[in-house]
Amino acid sequence: MDSRGTKMTLNVGGLARIAMANPLNAELISRLPSLGLNQCMLTAGCLFQAVWNHQSHLPSAWGVKDYDVFYFDNDLSWEAENEVIGSVQRLFQDLEVNIEIKNQARVHLWYSQRFGGSYPQLQSAKEGIDRYLIAGTCIGWDVETSEVYAPNGLADTEQGLLRINPKNPKPDLFYQKAKSYQARWPWLRIVDPQG
C-alpha cells in the first residue's frame, strides 16, 4: 500500500510503464542513444515523479522541472561536456523541454563551489544516482539497454516515503529537497533521519 492506503506493487515493469506515459521521457529514451554517450542514463524526477503523479491522478509530466541525463566520460574538460550539452540542445530543439545533462566524471570539480562540502570523484554514472539526497529517488534508466537502475529498490518511491540516503547524509539539504517534494505531493511522508 502507498501512504494513502492504495494497494499497488511497483516493480521495474510498472515503473517503466508509468514513466513512459510521459511522452517526453519516451522521446528522450528514443533519441539519446544516437549521441553514443557512455553510460547514458535518464534519471531523477522525470522517473520517480511520474510514479507520484500516477498515484495522485495527475498528468505524467506534472511538476517535472527538468529532465536529468547522466553520462560518464573520462575527458574532464568543460569543453568536452559543453560540446555534449550543445549536441543535446540540437537533438531536442523541437521539444520545449529543459534537459540537464551532466558528465558524472566531472561533478567533483564543481560540486563544492555550487553546493558546499566535498564530493568524491565518481567512477560511473550509476555512482551519481547512488548519491541522491533521498533514497527512494535513486532511479535511472539506461538509454542503451533499457535497464532500470534502482539501488534502493522501489518501495519508498511507491509508498511516498522520503528517507535520507545513507550514502549521502546531508540533513539540511535532505529536508530542503523533501519539503519541496511534499509541497507538490502533500501525501508524501518525510522520514526523520534521527528516529
Q: Output the pLDDT for position 8.
A: 63
The more confidently predicted of residues 89 and 115 is: 89
- Show the domains of the chain with their CATH numbers: 12-180 (3.30.460)
Give the confidence band of 116 by pLDDT, cuts at 50, 70, 90: confident
pLDDT value at 5 more than 80: no
End-to-end CA distance of the chain: 22
Three-state secondary structure of the chain: CCCCCCCCCCCHHHHHHHHHCCHHHHHHHHHHHHHCCCCCEEECHHHHHHHHHHHHCCCCCCCCCCEEEEECCCCCCHHHHHHHHHHHHHHCCCCCCCEEEEECCCHHHHHHHHHCCCCCCCCCHHHHHHCCCEHHHCCEEECCCCCEECCCCCHHHHHCEECECCCCCCHHHHHHHHHHHHHHCCCCEECCCCC
| Averaged pLDDT for residues 114-123 | 90
Name the pTM for this structure: 0.92
pLDDT value at 119 more than 50: yes
Q: Output the pLDDT for position 193.
A: 82
